[in-house]
Amino acid sequence: MITFINKYRLFLLLFFIFLINISIEHKKYEELTYEEIFETKVSVLNIYDKKDYQVLKLKADNFIFYTSLDKEIKLDKLDILNIAFISKKVTFIDYLKGFYSKTIYFDKLERNRNFKDELIYKINLNHQNEMISELFQALFLAIPISSNLRDICTNYGISHLIALSGFHIAVISFVIYWLLYFPYSFFHKRYFPYRNRKFDLLVICILVLFSYLFFVGIVPSLLRSLIMLVLSVILLRNNIEIFSFGTLLYTVLLIITFIPSFIFSLGFWFSVIAVFYIILYMKYFYNMNKYLSFIFFNFWMFLIFNPIVHFYFPQTSYEQFLSPIITVFFTLFYPFEIFAHIFDFAIYFDDYLKIFLEYKMNVFEVFTPFYFFVIYLVFSLVSTINKKAFLFLNILMVVFSFYLYI
């Protein structure tokens, strides 16, 4: 058990490392704003079409920023540009968050075809519909989706399924584990039977998953899941409770310590809050029948998260009630589609996906009031130590559901 003094030292160490990383980031920021105009090489992360222009989300080596160009200029995601833009007025906070700047000029550079391009090409071969291809590029390679597809996912209440996170990690881990199990077992019995086979396979899975993380780009929700997985393995080896608020807290502190810009990542915080409510569910509903819990859990998570989501994204539809059902279905759909794309038969299901994506919904906007948002967060935190607070939190959840849909 970690003593109070050891926890205090750990927090001090993390804070010291955080200050070092912030200093490094500020040095990079000073290089960016040293002159009026900054020139660098960037990749195109996403393109948002507006009425008379297009907004580009661009990634340089050390930062992400946005710029706008004429709509007639033809660019694609992952294109490489050499771009010059106005950088003098960028603040340090904006540098960490991602900023907007006016482009002075740019050149499109030739991009060498790499392994990710081959995978994108393979995904595209499996589909004739551009939006369906885009969906699977996001699910397998974390390529950002268009605003159109993002709105569809938000209207269905399934944005959490598109962002790579703990669920996707679990599925990929399962596939890797069983692909390696029998070959490794053969060598394990013959050459090193004294080793813990399950632990070795788990370590190999983690190494493969971190390779996957760097391959697709450091996605905040994916990184959070992997850090929690590593911490859980360490705690399990020391007979300490693995799925707890403490583990989540240390995960958040570790990530922010080494990547300070994630403080401003909404995707990262959504991922953290989702895990927070999962742990809260396990704390108070641990005695529920496991079959009933499997159904109830998804509906409860959908409802408990709504006040948080609608504070930032007001899109509301009655089809969002399908979200828990779609989430359950997705547990089979995702691993099945991995194999369908590997063996090139995914196209046979495109007609059903097309119906799903093109379905017209009646969408209206409902924001979570600021005062309710604050009260909700307070009772969520107090619920970690007080059962009555948890009961009141559920009452707030029900009240908000009536406010949202009735």
pLDDT of residue 87: 93
Q: How far apart are the first and last CA of the chain?
A: 49
Q: How far is CA 121 from CA 108, 114, 143, 214, in A?
A: 21, 11, 13, 20
pLDDT of residue 3: 59
Are 13 and 21 in contact by the 8 Å Cβ rule? The answer is no
pLDDT of residue 5: 60
Query: Is residue 21 helix, strand or coil?
Result: helix
Predicted TM-score (pTM) of the model is: 0.88
Are 156 and 319 in contact by the 8 Å Cβ rule? The answer is yes
Are 44 and 57 in contact by the 8 Å Cβ rule? The answer is yes
In the predicted model, residues of the chain with pLDDT beneath 50 are 1-2
Which domains does the chain show, CATH number per domain?
31-109 (2.40.50.140), 154-405 (no CATH)
CB neighbour list of residue 350: distance below 8 Å, 6 or more residues apart: 127, 128, 129, 132
- Between strands 64-70 and 99-100, the pairing is parallel
pLDDT of residue 189: 84
State which H helix or E strand residue 383 sits in: none
